[in-house]
Amino acid sequence: METLRNLTAQQARDARAAHGSPLYVYSAEALETQAQRALAFPNAFGLTVRYAMKAAPNAAILKLFTTLGLHIDASSGWEVRRAIKAGVPAGNISLSTQQMPDDFAELHEAGIKFNACSLAQLERFGELFPGQSCGVRFNPGLGSGGTGKTNVGGPHSSFGIWHEWADQVEAIAAKHRLTIERIHTHIGSGSDPAVWERVSHLSLDLVRRFGDVKTLNLGGGYKVGRMAHEKSTDLQVVGQPVKEAFAKLAAETGREIKLEIEPGTFLLANACSLICSVQDVVSTGGPDGREFLKLDGGMTEILRPSLYAAQHPIVVVPEQDTGETAEYLVVGHCCESGDVLTVGADDPESLQPRELAKAAVGDLIVIEGAGAYCSSMSAKNYNSFPEAAEALLEKDGSLRLIRRRQTLEQILQNEVCDS
């Protein structure tokens, strides 16, 4: 069975007593450890680590990473504004977006960096800022992800300018006297390290073509093992061949290209625990009968199992630990048959019971690996459940609330009802 990672059983109980459940608890120590690992990524001529803030955009996390020297990768104008409000310097923010914001000109003039993700975006940038510099995101023709839904490269992905349209990029740049100073590629989250390395070489070929490029951003989430049996990417192993490729390019051309990476999952995945409570224990009869643990959280806090068949460690923290175990299907609190946390691996339509400590109503359950794409990507307010609270476990063991639980009044505040 899986065990607790960032919290002791008593810390989990104390956190629930202080702030209720469901509750996300991030570990400052785990966040800092992962940040330092990312900052040590092998590089030949300089490195910028950009936190992909869509993984978890809480201001406390943005502030912590900024103090550690990380920059920001934003996926929307709203994320840019959020990061600036959290104190991130505009010059430390790079925007790669499917939808150019209406206030883009203001954001650009504030100093953010921009990667055009389509020919139309590049054309618009040129019209707004002729003679200036920007980056270009290319679809390298190849992608990889933990699932097909997290693959953002290749012919079935809309992200970036197709690599074969480089002629059109050059033409638009010439038309508006633009300098292409950065190239950005991204293959997906939970990627295969071998594919990531292959795409890095394809990306360097694009760098060769655009002579003014000074920085190559190699996006793509490195595979992170949430379950005990899963392996995680060793950044030192995957980074060394890429460092050598950058050095080779410099030897051939004299161009010393700076590297950017933009981890999200790598930094956050295993740095957060979602604390829930058992609301009910029910069973069904017949030869296929099952025993269910019903939680006070679910797809409103952690959508990944329903969406991707993602596997997360689940640990029961019983009030009375008898040493007994049982097989359970763990389900959420939503009136939705897909609100299941124990789905089959790679198949959200199947169910896979887990052997857990014997549980009773009121017992605490901790869902590990809940740091990336959980609080930020949820079935918000489904069944009118409020957004969960978030807390940060400081390195000295103290717990700091970093997001209050949403109230009913906050859920309703934007509704317009005629009297």
Residue-range domain boundaries for the chain: 27-263, 269-412
Q: Return phi, psi of residue 253, to 5°.
A: -120, -15
* CA dist 100 → 42, 120, 182 (Å): 33, 10, 18
Mark residue 108 as left, alpha or beta (left: phi above 0; alpha: psi -120 to 50; beta: remaining): alpha
**3-class DSSP state for residue 88?**
coil
The C-alpha atoms of residue 129 and residue 340 are separated, in whole angstroms, by 49
pLDDT on residue 190: 45
One-letter amino acid for residue 267 of the chain = L
The string over 168-184, giving b where at least 16 C-beta atoms fall within 10 Å of a residue's C-beta and e elsewhere, is ebeebbeebebebbbbb
**3-class DSSP state for residue 380?**
coil
One-letter amino acid for residue 256 of the chain = E
pLDDT on residue 154: 55
The tally of CA atoms less than 13 A away on the side-chain side of residue 184 is 28
Torsion of CA 218, 224, 230, 236, to 10 degrees: 60
The C-alpha atoms of residue 7 and residue 54 are separated, in whole angstroms, by 24
Instruction: Report the CATH fold assignment for 269-412.
Output: Lyase, Ornithine Decarboxylase; Chain A, domain 1 (2.40.37)
Residue that is written with structure tokens 């203001």 in the block: 106
Is the four-CA dihedral 238, 153, 39, 25 of positive or negative sign? negative
pLDDT on residue 192: 58
pLDDT on residue 195: 67
Whether 335 is catalytic is yes
pLDDT on residue 187: 65
Q: List the chain pLDDT tens, one digit each, 419 residues.
A: 899 999 999 999 999 999 999 999 999 999 999 999 999 999 999 999 999 999 999 999 999 999 999 999 999 999 999 999 999 999 999 999 999 999 999 999 999 999 999 999 999 999 999 999 999 999 877 644 444 444 344 556 667 898 889 999 999 999 999 999 999 987 644 445 566 677 788 889 899 999 999 999 998 768 899 998 898 889 998 889 889 999 999 999 999 999 999 999 999 999 999 999 999 999 998 888 899 999 999 999 999 999 888 999 999 999 988 899 999 999 999 999 899 999 998 787 889 999 999 999 999 999 999 999 999 998 989 999 999 999 999 999 999 999 999 999 999 999 998 76
CB neighbours of residue 384 within 10 Å: 9
The C-alpha atoms of residue 41 and residue 193 are separated, in whole angstroms, by 14
**3-class DSSP state for residue 9?**
helix
DSSP designation for 118: S
The C-alpha atoms of residue 406 and residue 254 are separated, in whole angstroms, by 55
Tokens representing 290 are: 């099952």
DSSP designation for 340: B
Collect all residues with Cβ–Cβ distance below 8 Å to 267 and sequence separation of at least 6. Answer: 31, 34, 35, 38, 51, 55, 65, 372
CATH of 27-263, one of 3.20.20.10, 3.40.50.300, 3.20.20.100, 3.30.56.10: 3.20.20.10
Which is catalytic among the residues 117, 335, 374, 417? 335
Backbone Cα Rg of the chain: 23
pLDDT on residue 145: 43
pLDDT on residue 156: 64
Task: Give the helix/strand (H/E) hosting 81.
Answer: helix 77-85
